[in-house]
Structure 1
Amino acid sequence: MRKRALLAAFTALVAASGAFGVRLATADAAPITFSHPGVLVSRAQLDFVKAKVAAGAQPWLAAYNQMKASSYASLTRTPKPRATVECGSYSNPNNGCTDEREDAIAAYTDALAWYVTGNAAYAQKSIALMDAWSATIKTHTNSNGPLQTGWAGSVWPRAAEIIKYTYSSWPNAARFATMLRTVYLPVVIAGSSSNGNWELSMMEAAVGISVFLDDKASYDRAITRFKARAAAYIYITADGAQPKYPPVGSVDTTSELISYWQGQSTFVDGLAQETCRDFVHTGYGISAISHVAETTRIQGEDLWPSLQERVRQALGFHTKFENGTAVPGTICGGSVQKGLGPVSEVAFNALHTRLGIAMTNSQTYTESRRPQGTNNLFVAWETLTHANNPA
């Protein structure tokens, strides 16, 4: 308990230092000047994609055609904003939850289509979607409200960054920034003591929003919590006999930790806190980790080297079973619920393409599922944006 009290005191110190304008001298501090567009994809990455699609090269052309054929790219889409988005457990009730997430993905889809094609109609549709929500939404409610805020809040800044920094005019950009600052950021920056995918998605949203707002203090605060949660979400043997305790909450004994890890008491490289729950939620967590790491790379601090062993092991561990390897009795009682989803491209590109790490299981999984599309929550078109992208 004393350890957790000290951690809480340190977290409070970090928050207080930001409030008083004091910068902590760490290697992970926010950049002096943020790079834009700089949430998940950079201008150099977008230029790479645009050239590949124009040349008809694969898998980018197939990925682009997949995106273009989706309902998210429709120029006749009508936004469905609400002042209050109410999301219960597993989105039940679902009062605007799907509408918000899908409109955010559509705005990002249109922003990508604008950049790749140069067709201003896509930029204008992206703007129309963002403007509709920024003029309307006030809050998220019910038990899944924080997670919904994280999911939608992860995607909006991706669209906004591309539009603001590559398109000629967005009159209501300041109103959109106010929406992110007042409706989304206060919720996601606070984090969560729920399952790790919640807090990782919330930190992804906090990091992306902070980049768009050029908010160094919030960026630093989010990165601090993100690093603690990522280290507690994926186990590697360097951690010791058991995983790290989560950064917040009441879990601080071995028995509580085993319960938190879905009853799993045998810990091996790459196991995640939600592996024995199901691979779907585990995929959410791994995806959010990869998205934050990619954004930090664009912003010049690059957390990939410090995360590479955890993410490499996690992807390899889970894709091995997705690819057909039998699950041993020591893992989740010998049975897992597969369904990792379209979440491997960003990490595989960062670790394999850029850092040259051999990742046989992850490569088989990734390449056999191209083009990876969207999970209709917060993951979208990552074969298009990140497949073999060295930029």
Structure 2
Amino acid sequence: MRRTALFAASATLVAGVLAWPADAAPSAPAAFTHPGVTVSKGQLDFTRSKVNAGAQPWKGAFDRMTASKYADLNRAPRPRAVVECGSYSNPDLGCTDEREDAIAAYTHALAWYITRDERHARKAIELMDAWSAVIRDHTNSNAPLQTGWAGSSWSRAAEIIKHSYTGNWANSGRFATILRTVYLPEIINGSNSNGNWELSMTEAAVGISVFLEDKASYDKAMATFRTRTAAYVYLESDGALPKTVPSQNLNSREKIVKYWQGQTTFVNGLSQETCRDFTHTGYGLSAISHVAETSRIQGQDLYGTDVGERLRHGLGFHARYQLGAGAEGWLCGGSLKLGLGPVSEVGHNALANRLGHAMTNTGTLTLRGRPAGSNNLFVAWETLTHGDNPA
């Protein structure tokens, strides 16, 4: 693997590297496709046919999902008017409850689509209605991230129910209102924190914009996403220094190195948070794959752009070490904190299965993790929805 060493750059070089032009933001589609947040009707229909035929890995993935706590038809929603989340969810005043109720709503929406058992549709609606009746705000330091995590799952659940269930969802308008007034304002302007924050926030903003058919918010979220993705995963074509988010004013070598957790050598696929830990890096890579998948469903395929290249190299780089390769001395001081999580199915399916890229390490890690479960934050059941899914 060729290494590009970060060197003591002159002020002129740093200024030149930082003055990169942002890619043009994708435009919202003329008409939004529904259901169209992370998973499409074609993908859902494929999954349903495979599960009903007892085919693997989909049947095993479905069985894992329905055996989880999130698929419990006796689940009682636990809504709050104000969800208060401090750093690392301390305090946790409704944070776990909201995230898990949102994942449960998505789980029941998937179970409804696959089985056509209306009890699951009604449970998803019950969970969404309970929260839309009371939620008014997210507070404390983790409010933007919490809103992004929960908003991602809420929008996926709402898309499936609204656009496949023919029963009565009388309060769907109220749910749309809280997405527009409580969730979207908290996330649409992005974040200057670690990259996984802004990527998770833009994932939710994109999903909510699709559900609301809000073209302006969709365009704004996509523009933020393209800028942050370029600043989150390094490609050697970026030059000696990683790209940056202009508003963060990372305008010197020293600031960039500090922001990249002290890393001074850059290679294809390295993430801004690799040297922090693989868990947070996995959050960022997962959000990239989710937004790319939503964009593809909505008519603009980002997998063939730098987004896809960054995701491909990012997954492959981290999969290698997650599979057991030892860290070289130049990488994070020779010590890595693993724990990538169940985040590779969407990207592997799009880039390896559909586009034909060789992704040996990512493929091995994906197979080893099947059937993928949930990270209990915003990732759930992706072997079921995207594993070897050609739709």
Deviations 1:64-123 (A, max 9, x none): 000000010000000000000000000000000000000000000000000000000000
In structure 2, the residue matched to 1:366 is 366
For the pair 1:160 / 2:158, whether they are aligned, the reply is yes
Aligned to 1:151: 149
- Between stretches 75-84 and 237-246, larger displacement belongs to 237-246
| Structure 1 residue 248 displacement after superposition | 2.5
| CA deviation vs aligned residue, 1:39-73 (integer Å, no higher than 9, x gap) | 00000000000000011111000000000000100
Corresponding residue for residue 263 of structure 1: 262
Q: For residues 99 and 27 of structure 1, do their structure 2 counterparts lie closer, same or farther at Cα, with a shift above 3 Å needed? A: closer
5+ residue gaps, structure 2: 1-13
**Residues 149-298 of structure 1 mapped to structure 2, 5 A cutoff:** 149-168=147-166, 169-298=168-297
Provide the C-alpha distance between the structure 2 equivalents of 1:131 and 1:248, rounded to a whole number of angstroms.
37
Report the equivalent of 2:73: 75
- State the shift of 1:309 in Å: 1.4
- SS at the partner of 1:153? helix
TM-score normalised by L of structure 1: 0.94
Q: 1:27 to 1:184 in 2, by over 3 A?
A: closer
For residue 329 of structure 1, what is the aligned residue in structure 2? 329
Task: Give the residue type in structure 2 aligned to 1:297.
Answer: R
| Secondary structure class of the residue paired with 1:304 | coil
The Cα of 1:308 is off from its aligned counterpart by 1.9
CA 1:5 to 1:231, structure 2 compared with 1: closer, same or farther past 3 Å? closer
1:166 to 1:146, Cα distance in 2 relative to 1, 3 A: same
Change (3 A) 1:45 1:6: same
Q: 2:176, 2:246 → 1: CA distance?
A: 29
Confirm or deny: 8 A CA contact 1:50 1:116 kept in the other structure: yes
After TM superposition, the structure 1 stretch with the greater mean CA deviation from structure 2, 64-73 or 249-258, is 249-258
CA RMSD across the alignment: 1.7
Supply the AA of the counterpart residue of 2:99: R
Alpha-carbon distance change, 63 to 247 in structure 1, aligned in 2, over 3 angstroms: farther
Which of 122, 131, 134 does residue 132 from structure 2 map onto?
134
Q: Counterpart of 1:174 in 2: which secondary structure?
A: helix
Determine the C-alpha separation between the residues in 2 that align with 1:82 and 1:364. 42
Q: Could you report, residue by residue, the CA deviation over 1:236-287 in whole angstroms, capped at 9, with x for unpaired residues? A: 1010011101242232211100000000010011000000000000000000
**Counterpart amino acid of 1:231?**
A
Residues 308-347 of structure 1: matches in 2 within 5 Å?
A: 308-347=308-347
Distance (Å, rounded) in 2 between the aligned partners of 1:369 and 1:226: 27
* Maintained 8 Å contact 1:291/1:346: yes
AA at the equivalent of 2:126 = A
> What fraction of aligned residue pairs are identical, expressed as a percent?
64
Distance 2:136 2:19 in 1: 36
* TM-superposition CA deviations, 1:301-343 (whole Å, max 9, x none): 1111112211111111000001111110000001100000000
Q: Does 1:40 align with 2:38?
A: yes
Contact 2:18–2:243 (CA under 8 A) maintained in structure 1: no
Distance 2:16 2:220 in 1: 20
The one-letter code of the counterpart of 1:303 is: L
In 2, the alpha carbon distance for the partners of 1:126 and 1:344 equals: 26
Write the distance in 1 (CA, Å) between the matches of 2:72 and 2:371: 19
Per the normalisation by structure 2, the TM-score is: 0.94
Structure 2 counterpart of 1:390, which letter? P
Secondary structure at the counterpart of residue 140 of structure 1: strand
How far apart in 2 are the matches of 1:126 and 1:162? 10
Per the alignment, residue 378 of structure 2 pairs with 378
Distance change (3 Å), C-alpha of 1:89 and 1:181: same
1:364 maps to amino acid: T
Q: 1:388 to 1:5 in 2, by over 3 A?
A: closer
Q: Give deviations 1:369-389, integer Å, cap 9, x for gaps.
A: 100100000000000000000
* Aligned partner of 1:90 among 84, 88, 91: 88
Q: Could you tell me which residue of structure 2 aligns to residue 106 of structure 1?
A: 104
| Residues in 1 aligned to 2:15 and 2:273: alpha-carbon distance in whole angstroms | 26
Q: Which residue of 2 aligns with 1:17?
A: none
Segments of 5+ residues of structure 1 without an aligned counterpart are 12-24
How many positions carry a matched residue from both structures? Answer: 376
**Following superposition, which runs of at least 4 residues in structure 1 exceed 2 angstroms of deviation?**
1-7
Matched-pair contact (CA < 8 Å) for 2:279–2:338: yes
Alignment of 1:48-63 (within 5 A): 48-63=46-61
Partner Cα separation in structure 1 for residue 93 and residue 43 of structure 2: 36
Partner of 1:19: none
Give the match's secondary structure for 1:200: helix
**How many angstroms apart in 2 are the aligned matches of 1:86 and 1:329?**
41
**Range that drifts further, 245-254 or 215-224:** 245-254
Asked whether the 8 Å contact 1:207–1:219 carries over to 2, the reply is yes
